């Protein structure tokens, strides 16, 4: 997507990741800023189902033609679903980073960690 956008209903991590929290579960992805900085994503290397992810630590990799970048977990939990569509369509991360470009669904082990994440205004403040 060409225009920067940051949905209001998401929580943000300063490493340019978002979480859409729904009770004990959350969906993770990367922000518009992150995909724009990466350039065209050509490969998404997902974690395995059942893997434990820890807040602030890398859980996946995205690659552009020339560079590799880690994707950081905004919250801790266990991977219960991976967006398989990214295997054949990693460009969805660029085209729709908050929708079809979602990366994983996680069962949270410590939902209260969400209190430490940024709301949209605080995250936008980081980008200026």
Partner 1 sequence: MPFAGWEMPVQYEGIRQEHLAVRTRAGMFDVSHMGEIETSGPQAEELLQWLLSNDLTRIAERGAQYSVLCRQDGGVLDDLFTYRLGPDRFLTVTNAANHEKDLAWFRRHAEDFDADARDAHADWAMIAVQGPEARAALARVADGELPARMRTADLRVAGVELLVCGTGYTGEDGCELMTPPDGAAPVWDALRAEGVEPAGLGARDTLRLEVCFHLYGNDLSEDRNPIEAGLAWCCKLETDFIGSDALRGVEPRESLVPFAFTGPGIPRQGNAIRTEHGDGVVTSGSLSPCLEIGIGMGYVPAEASAPGTAIEADVRGKSRTAEVRDKPLYAKE
CA distance 10 to 20: 5
Nearer to partner 1, 11 or 93 (CB): 93
Which CB, 7 or 89, lies closer to partner 1?
A: 89
Asked if 2 interacts with partner 1 (CB under 8 A), we say no
71 phi/psi in degrees, rounded to 5: -110, 130
User: Residue 52 CA to chain centroid, in angstroms?
Assistant: 16
| Residue 97 per-residue DSSP state | T
Rounded to 5 degrees, φ, ψ at 10 are -105, 160
> Rule CB under 8 A: is residue 89 a binding residue for partner 1?
no
User: Residue from 37, 68, 85, 122 that binds partner 1 (CB under 8 A)?
Assistant: 68
Assigned token pair, 114? 């969400």
In the complex with partner 1, the residue whose CB is nearer, 59 or 123, is 59
Identify the residue among 63, 78, 95, 96 touching partner 1 (CB under 8 A).
63
Chain residues binding partner 1 by CB under 8 A are 39-40, 42-43, 45, 61, 63-66, 68, 87
């Amino acid at each position: 997507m060409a225009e920067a956008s940051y949905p209001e209903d998401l929580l943000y991590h300063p490493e340019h990741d978002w979480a859409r929290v729904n009770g004990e579960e959350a969906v993770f992805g990367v922000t518009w800023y992150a995909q724009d900085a990466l350039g065209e994503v050509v490969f998404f290397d997902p974690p395995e189902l059942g893997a434990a992810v820890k807040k602030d630590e890398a859980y996946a990799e995205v690659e552009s033609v020339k560079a590799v970048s880690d994707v950081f977990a905004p919250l801790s939990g266990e991977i219960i679903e991976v967006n398989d569509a990214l295997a054949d369509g990693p460009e969805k991360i660029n085209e729709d980073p908050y929708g079809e470009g979602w990366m994983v669904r996680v069962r949270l082990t410590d939902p209260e960690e969400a209190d430490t994440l940024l709301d949209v205004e605080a995250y936008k403040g980081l980008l200026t």
